[in-house]
Structure 1
Amino acid sequence: MTAVPLPAAAPASPGLRVRRALPWAALVLLLLVAQSLLVALTIDYEASRKQEQVEAVSGAAAAQLRHNVGTRLQELQALLWSEVSQPQWQRDAAQLLHAHPDLLRIERRDADGRILEATDSAQQPPLFTRIPRAGLSLDSELACVSARRNLTPSLSRSYFVPRDDGLGIEVIDACVPVTRRGQLDGTLVATIGLSALLDGAITAEQSRVHELSLVEGDGTRLARAGLPRGLGVFVAERPVDLPGLTLQLRVDSTATRPQLIPNLATALVLGLSLALFGVVLLLARDVRRRARAETQLAEALALRKAMEDSLVTGLRARGLDGRLGYVNPAFCAMVGYSADELLGTYPPPYWPPEMRDEYAQRQARRLDAGQSVADAREGYETLFQRKSGERFPVMIYEAPLVDGGGRHTGWMSAVVDVSAQRRVEELSRQQQERLQAAARLATVGEMASLLSHELNQPLSAIASYASGSLNLLQQPDAQTPGQLQQAMARIAEQAERAGRVIKSVHNFVRRREQAHEVISTERLIDAVLPLVRLQARKSGTRIAIDVPHPSPRVKCDRTMVEQVLLNLARNGIQAMEEATPLPARVLTLRVRQAQPRWVAFSVIDHGPGIAPDVAQRLFTPFFTTRHEGMGLGLSLCRTVIEQHGGALDFGVTPATASEPAGTEFRFTLPADSKPEQRA
């Protein structure tokens, strides 16, 4: 029997194929539109972000320009307070010119505008060598007229000053009026270079990717800063309002417009990746949902069982009617009843019989449906009774019990047996009373020891100054009154220092936080330097100061830290008195910025060093190697430094070709977190 072939299926009509392809075509078109919008939005976002960066740079540079000009005017006003004598004024002006490269020249003029004195910057060639100053003074005179009329600083319009090398520089003049006893006495004129002023207003990072220019209203460039040339794509302009002058700041970025190809490729890859990820999630979600739910349920049951077996805190669950629905093994062990004896009972058997009415009323209030959750979470203490009849205190913390539908079905309680804690608290209270009595006696001894040691240094200084004053009175001369006045001032200063020591030691014994202040390390060194040099002069010791400029600033209790420096310096001087030759007796006080948050102090001597057996006990209270010492100095020094959060240690300084070996005591103090504000 032969098989009869089936007839072939009729081909689909063109209209049916079009209807089938239409949804897919719409989907493809929708994807193309979405990808195009994504690319356009990405390009527009990147362009706006770059433009915002340029605007931010222009705003920051304009603000810095205004700040720098205001600072220069304030410093020029401070120069008015200098001595009128020519040498002093010349020195102050030279220091100001050296500190600021944008200041090129400073002139002092009388009330009629005639130049009395002038100082040019040593960092730049003199300005008015090719064309005299009188030939370029029109804009300066107009600014000075405005300054004298308003009695406020004023800036002139910019003008070009040619130089001998064929180049030139665009400058402005700052005119500051000088008043004496309320009357105009003259003017102070400072010439400011616009290029240097603009360089000081931007950071190195900004100068690498931006070109900054100062331009006039017609677009004429006055000065520029920045390493590259701007492309003119992302440009921001901002006016800079100065006293008597307005400049236009122009910032031109080196960035180009966002390119299409990289963004298009990124958008396509991102879109396809998101689509593929979505498909995978849809396929995997239905397959893994049931297995994940079963696994989580088994893990939750195992975790609950493990928690029940390991908890030492009793747990109980009560319904709204007050009947127990759940207790854990720890709760059963706490009250002595089994779970079968507790579940479903009311009132529970662990309530003391005489307190059941009171507990029932309290439970009614706590199980009230209108009670807030916050009040229910507050713990309360009560009394339970074990099956053996023993009473014990417990602390109970409750939280609402809510079912899967969000309905409040009861309360979950955590019960903690606090009987052992109450016994420990009573024992601790008794011990604390005994410790307080002993601490008061120890405080008296500590206060006496601290005062005797800390007051020894200022009282010794007062005695030295008083002895010197008596010697001056026995042999008076023309300089005696001034020297006596200086000695009396030193005595008063040391007396005040002794008062601060008493107050600081009192606070130290009470262990209160000291009144810390921010102070430069240079001032700390200068405060103890007269006393250190007085001690060093007796033994022929030279004092070397190694402090960077500007000196770091620290936050500390000034009086206590000065005592630490003075004590370490005196120890170093005394260590070199016998064993060190006279030429090698050098005591070095050094300050370094160890880390951004810490400043390190070093006191270095060239004495015989510290023996190993002495080094182990060096910071032990009442241990000393000198007959007249009390053994409290280094111990108190370490305590003071540790109260500031720092550390005190010591080490051996190796010998060099010019200096012998010695000992270095180092300690650290917290650096000031806020930078010093300069006018």
Structure 2
Amino acid sequence: MPVSLLTYDPQPSVVLDAQGLPLAANPALARLLAGKPLSHVRTWLPGNLNELISACLHQARAIEQVEAHSHEQIWLWTLIPDPQNQCVVARGREASSEQLAEREAAKARRLYRLITENTTDLISRHTPDGRFLDASPASWTLLGYWPERLRGSLAQRLFHPHHLAQVLRQARDALELDGYHTMTYRIRHQAGHYLWFETASRAIRETYTGAVVEVVSVSRDITARIQAEENKRRLADVVEANPDPVLFIDPVGSVSYLNPAARRILGLEGGNSLLSLADFLSPQDLAQLKSVGWRNAEQQGLWSSETRLQPLNGEPSVPVSLLLLAHRSTAGERFFSLVARDMRERELREAQQRHHQDEMAHTARLITLGELASGIAHEINQPLAAVVNYANASQRYLQNLEHNPDAVARVTQGLERITLHANHASQVIKRLRGFLRKGRRTLQPLDVSDVARQAVNLCAWEARERHVNIEQQLPEILPLVYADRVLLEQVLLNLLRNAIDANSEQQPGQPSRITLQAQVMTSGWLHISVQDEGPGVTSEQFEQLFTPFYTSKAEGLGLGLSMSRSIIEGFGGELNAEPQPNGLRLCCSLPLMAVIKQQQEEEGT
């Protein structure tokens, strides 16, 4: 190895034998060692030095830019073989700053490439006239074009014609003047439809002249945002035009917005009057809203209730169906809207419907009593005949009072019998008058057993005439239900008479039985059923059993069961038919009064 190579080499150099032992160092390396032994140079050399020397000598070639780390320094070594002397010259340079800078630059390049290749925004470069120089892969996701397809093409050929002239003029002027421009426009997708884009562009200028030589743009698809804003505008128009009152409120009860319908129903004139819920809701409604409404709206998204609004101009209260809706803003904040549907028309319609139903029920009762006329006459004639007989006998005893010592006792007994039968006749007439009562329905607590027995009494003579025995399985004590006595009695009488007709149809002139049963269910309902021994119904008849004007009787109107179901549903109950192996079972289900009260208390709290 020439000594001059080591002596005058400006780079630190060291001669290494085939085993990697340092033999000599040039002055540049000696200065770095600063008096340390030559063997210290091994700490600066690569860790796999022996392998490198072996490869260098066997292959007779130099190995360049081998990196080695020593503490916080980075060294780059070049190994030059001398096969004749079986040694290697290792020339090195300390490259810590250079390597770190290169690594940071490489990291920045990788990060830039990663961002460019993975960002959902389209990053593109353009000539000043708008021609694509390059584009990120997001061009495929957003526009359906790969970057290769866009290079060299004009961006404006994708613009919507409506925006083309205005957008280009504004962009050119802004980039020339300010060097920066943001624009919103429509651009055509490769599939043919248009998207809304928002593009921020920055001009790259020539250093000396300041002329724009390139434009870098970042574009994003804002179609969803534009559509959301358009939907929001349309929704605002709908809310303004909505015939139902709509209010925006907060949990403390303040009203921030009322649509025109809300102002009308609350009797407010124009202006931006600020209200609270307490101005038009009752204390009970406010308490229910506080205890139940806000919580349900928060958890389930909505809460509904029926109440009345009190207009601020002194007008009568308005029945409404309230719907409290909970919403969440993009920032996560909760806000609420209150929709109040005006129920005045429904309330009037329901009142008229109840009136018509009561009129029809009264007419049906008149028809029923007309059909029971012979039985009613018998019920009244029997006690009246007995009264006449006992009165005649008492007169005869009075005429023989002087000769018959038992006459006084006989007359007393006769008067007691007269009173008994007269009261019986009076009870029959009272029952008929009560059954024929006309007027508004009166809901009250009722013992179903008592009502059922009264219905049995009204049709008892008809049942006897047709040899039908009504077996009453009615407990002495039953929980109360909430209903109108006359209407409930009418329903049960209708079910009993239908059962009597069915038995007579199946077994004319033969003894038969009807079972009238009442029982309390664990679900909090009371079931009262009437089961006959008739021919039953076919599947087609069963489907239409409660259809108005449908009847299998030659002289029937077909309104009995449909009217009975409407009456029971008006009490919050149900009327259903259940086919049996022999005959048909009609079951009337009514909620117990205690259950209704408990539900009302739970709703109130």
Q: TM class by shorter-chain length?
A: 0.3 to 0.5
Which protein has greater RCO, CA pairs closer than 8 Å, 6+ apart?
1
**Could you state the TM-score of these two structures normalised by the residue count of structure 2?**
0.37
Structure exhibiting the larger radius of gyration computed from Cα positions: 2
